[in-house]
Chains A and B, each alone.
Chain A
Amino acid sequence: GDSVTQMEGPVTLSEEAFLTINCTYTATGYPSLFWYVQYPGEGLQLLLKATKADDKGSNKGFEATYRKETTSFHLEKGSVQVSDSAVYFCALSYSGYSTLTFGKGTMLLVSP
């Protein structure tokens, strides 16, 4: 079945450092890929998405590129802020097939 694997956390960075959170997937078809973020005490929020190979999703300075050849969707940000501290989830879904399959999540901690 389909699955998503994320790097284990926590990822601890200083403010303004470069961020990469790795995500790889196993899928039987051609899914859409997502990054969700969960801030402390809040619900999951969609951060960015990509619907086909080579698409780049971007939002709030975060980017991720759908790489079919490496089955990856790594999340990057050039300069993190303390306010980016949260848990980040990579997920996949099929258009017209509703359920999301999530990775285990990666906690990011950014210190001043």
Chain B
Amino acid sequence: DTGVSQDPRHKITKRGQNVTFRCDPISEHNRLYWYRQTLGQGPEFLTYFQNEAQLEKSRLLSDRFSAERPKGSFSTLEIQRTEQGDSAMYLCASSLVGGKGAYEQYFGPGTRLTVT
């Protein structure tokens, strides 16, 4: 049983650079979520997809952030012109809607972004 995977696990970038993260959900899951977790805080919701449709975006998701899930499988999260305030752990989660635990989300290990 393969869980949610994320790549890379760690990313160090310089301010102003663009970065892209990838998330591979559990294969039969139709919903995919992105969260951001800063030090000492709980995860905060960024956006989610049902299949390939992006259904909700948080106000935390500024114009510099974009997410895609082109074929309803893996997803990418891109941050353009990174700022030091973007330094955080970016978490991906997936769930199966309509199943027994429709709102049970399974999380990946996260991508830790450091902007210098």
Number of residues on chain B facing chain A (CB within 8 A)? 27
Complex contact A105–B42 (CB within 8 A): yes
Contacts of A100 in B (CB 8 A): 35, 43, 45, 105
Complex contact A104–B41 (CB within 8 A): yes
Complex contact B44–A102 (CB within 8 A): yes
Cβ contacts B2-17/A at 8 Å (1 or 0 each): 0110000000000000
B contact patch SS: loop
Contacts of A104 in B (CB 8 A): 40-42
Within 8 A of B (CB), among A27-70: 32, 36, 41-46, 49
- A44 to B110 Cα, complex, angstroms: 9
Partner of A102, one of B4, B42, B102, B104: B42
Q: Spell out B's residues near A (CB within 8 Å).
A: 3-4, 31, 33, 35, 40-45, 48, 56, 58, 91, 93, 95, 97, 102-110
Q: Spell out A's residues near B (CB within 8 Å).
A: 4, 32, 36, 41-46, 49, 89, 91, 93-96, 98-105
8 contacts between A and B (CB under 8 A): A36-B107, A43-B107, A44-B43, A45-B107, A98-B97, A99-B33, A99-B58, A105-B42
